């Protein structure tokens, strides 16, 4: 199927895999590490990136490529690469353009694992991050930039603080500083928001969440819009604009144009670090993607009802969901997420942290799991679980109140979900 001309719903179902005469209708799992050639010369050309083709699954695999191309089409990008996890996607997206001595800026309201990756692990590699409040004025955020700053990073809807990002504002700040805007679009998915349409340059996902949607496999993806002009800032991005010694002096922007960023991420970062998604997982991810356009509206519809129920309940101290009219992010939500945001609602109960934990223990339908954003309703207390490593100060900067309950509304019947909350609150 030619992706470009179709709507998102059609791309979800049929994008990526284009069977020819007599080929399987359903995307096959190419469960093979390696691919056969007839002459040594044919293979050598692949190693030199002179020709494209498959030779080893760490670099490329037809199942993975079909799924990556479906996601690229959904986001409106030019190319994509699957990774073994969302963590690998975040790391590779930055590491593809940053090396020791470089710096990048990130919204402070991000997933706990990403916060730790940026603040602790990347620092050990000599790459420094400055965290900024995404709601701060443009001039304030711009102050975090330095001559060696290489990227700006943020989440469309932050996990778990549910901050809705002003993507256009972030794109302006990034571009006036000559760096790309990288957006983690995990919670919104391209069904509800396509960050490239608002000026983002690169999008990443933890496909583990709504894209897979059934909690069957951990995965990630990096998508490039092809819009950032690396050559206009050639000195900042030598890895893309200067010859690569590991490929006989090839220059990515010269040889691959709009495909430069993803080609380098594949041919260099993935080649050397190897966090590839297995073809089996890519196949499962593809099954999830086939219904993403049906599931997202249902998640949003259910979450809106749950949020409204909590909002009107006297035992609830506060509730955060951008679909509520009195929410801080209602206006931004209407602008960037007019069809709904996601299925995740956060709230705190009167009585604080201990009451919140007791409430969770009494839920029956909603399960306590680390996971979020899948078909089954689940619940988590970030301060005790995902964000356990963060200090109280970091928790506040990440927008995680100590009493915050992260409630991931599934696609069951919403009356059953609300009844479950009701009986747990009664206890
Ligand atoms: C879960 C998550 C990640 C990390 O993804 P994994 O697939 O668990 O490695 C990154 N960003 C966001 C917003 C997430 O929710």
**Do residues 338 and 381 share a domain?**
yes
**Pocket flag, ligand 1, residue 218 (CB < 6 Å):** yes
**Pocket flag, ligand 1, residue 113 (CB < 6 Å):** yes
Total domains in the fold of the chain? 2
Helix (H, G, I), strand (E, B) or coil at 288: helix
Taking the CA of residue 187 as reference, the ligand 1 atom at the shortest distance is 13
Mean pLDDT by 10 residues, the chain (427 residues): 77 96 97 92 84 89 98 98 98 98 97 95 98 98 98 97 97 98 98 98 98 97 98 97 91 96 97 97 98 98 98 96 98 98 96 88 93 93 81 78 93 98 95
**Do residues 241 and 197 share a domain?**
yes
Q: Which of 288, 303, 330 is the last residue of a domain?
A: 288
**Do residues 40 and 189 share a domain?**
yes
- Contact present, 190 and 289 (Cβ < 8 Å): no
Segment 234-271, tens digit of pLDDT: 999 999 999 998 888 999 999 999 999 999 999 999 99
Segment 355-388, tens digit of pLDDT: 988 999 999 999 998 889 999 999 998 888 877 7
Q: Provide the residue range defining the domain that includes 171.
A: 3-288
Q: Judge residue 421's burial from the number of C-beta atoms within 10 Å of its C-beta, 0-12 exposed, 13-18 middle, 19 or more buried.
A: buried
Cα(12)–Cα(293) distance, rounded to whole angstroms?
7
**Pocket flag, ligand 1, residue 134 (CB < 6 Å):** no
Cα(161)–Cα(344) distance, rounded to whole angstroms?
10
**Do residues 272 and 376 share a domain?**
no
Residues 6+ apart with CB under 8 A from 134: 107, 108, 109, 141, 154, 158, 163, 165, 166, 170
**Pocket flag, ligand 1, residue 277 (CB < 6 Å):** no
| 143-162 core/surface letters (b: 16 or more CB in 10 A; e: else) | ebbeeebbbbbbbbbbbbbb
**Do residues 245 and 211 share a domain?**
yes
**Pocket flag, ligand 1, residue 116 (CB < 6 Å):** no
**Pocket flag, ligand 1, residue 206 (CB < 6 Å):** yes
pTM as predicted:
0.96
Taking the CA of residue 207 as reference, the ligand 1 atom at the shortest distance is 7
Cα(31)–Cα(244) distance, rounded to whole angstroms?
31
Write the residue with the smallest CA distance to atom 8 of ligand 1: 86
Tell which phi-psi region holds residue 244, choosing left (phi > 0), alpha (psi between -120 and 50) or beta.
Answer: beta
* Mutation choice for ligand 1 from 114, 117, 153, CB with most ligand atoms inside 8 A: 114
Q: Which of 232, 258, 288 is the last residue of a domain?
A: 288
Taking the CA of residue 208 as reference, the ligand 1 atom at the shortest distance is 7
Q: Which of 288, 323, 356 is the last residue of a domain?
A: 288
**Pocket flag, ligand 1, residue 209 (CB < 6 Å):** yes
**Do residues 349 and 416 share a domain?**
yes
**Do residues 310 and 261 share a domain?**
no
Tell which phi-psi region holds residue 101, choosing left (phi > 0), alpha (psi between -120 and 50) or beta.
Answer: left
């Amino acid at each position: 199927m030619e992706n470009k001309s179709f709507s998102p719903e059609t791309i979800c179902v049929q994008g990526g895999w284009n069977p020819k005469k007599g080929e399987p209708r359903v995307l096959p799992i190419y469960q093979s590490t390696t691919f056969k050639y007839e002459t040594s010369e044919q293979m050598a050309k692949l190693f030199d990136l002179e020709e494209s083709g498959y030779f080893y699954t760490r670099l490329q695999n037809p199942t993975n490529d079909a799924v990556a191309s479906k996601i690229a089409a959904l986001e409106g990008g030019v190319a994509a690469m699957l990774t073994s996890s969302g963590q690998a996607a975040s790391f590779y997206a930055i590491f593809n353009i940053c090396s020791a001595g470089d710096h990048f800026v990130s919204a402070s309201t991000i997933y706990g694992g990403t916060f730790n990756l940026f603040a602790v692990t990347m620092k050990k590699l000599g790459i420094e991050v400055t965290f900024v409040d995404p709601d701060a004025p443009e001039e304030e955020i711009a102050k975090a930039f330095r001559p060696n700053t290489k990227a700006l990073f943020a989440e469309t809807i932050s996990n778990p603080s549910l901050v809705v990002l002003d993507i256009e504002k972030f794109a302006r700040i990034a571009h006036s500083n000559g760096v790309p805007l990288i957006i983690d679009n995990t919670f919104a998915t391209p069904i509800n928001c396509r960050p490239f349409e608002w000026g983002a340059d690169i999008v990443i996902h933890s496909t583990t969440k709504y894209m897979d949607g059934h909690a069957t496999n951990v995965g990630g993806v990096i998508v490039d819009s092809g819009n950032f002009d690396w050559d206009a800032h050639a000195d900042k991005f030598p890895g893309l604009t200067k010859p690569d010694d590991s490929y006989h002096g090839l220059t990515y922007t010269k040889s691959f144009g709009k495909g430069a960023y993803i080609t380098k991420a594949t041919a260099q970062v993935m080649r050397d670090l190897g966090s590839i998604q297995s073809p089996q997982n890519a196949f499962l991810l593809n099954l999830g993607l086939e219904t993403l356009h049906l599931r997202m509206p249902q998640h949003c519809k259910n979450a809106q009802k749950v949020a409204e129920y909590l909002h009107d309940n006297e035992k609830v101290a506060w509730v955060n969901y951008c679909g509520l009219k009195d929410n801080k992010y209602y206006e931004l939500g209407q602008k960037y997420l007019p069809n709904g945001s996601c299925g995740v609602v956060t709230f705190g109960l009167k009585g604080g942290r201990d009451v919140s934990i007791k409430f969770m223990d009494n839920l029956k339908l909603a399960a306590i799991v680390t996971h979020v954003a899948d078909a089954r309703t689940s619940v988590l207390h970030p301060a005790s679980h995902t964000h356990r490593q963060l200090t109280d100060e970091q928790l506040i900067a990440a927008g995680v109140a100590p009493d915050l309950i992260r409630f991931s509304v599934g696609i069951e019947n919403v009356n059953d979900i609300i009844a479950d909350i009701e009986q747990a609150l009664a206890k």
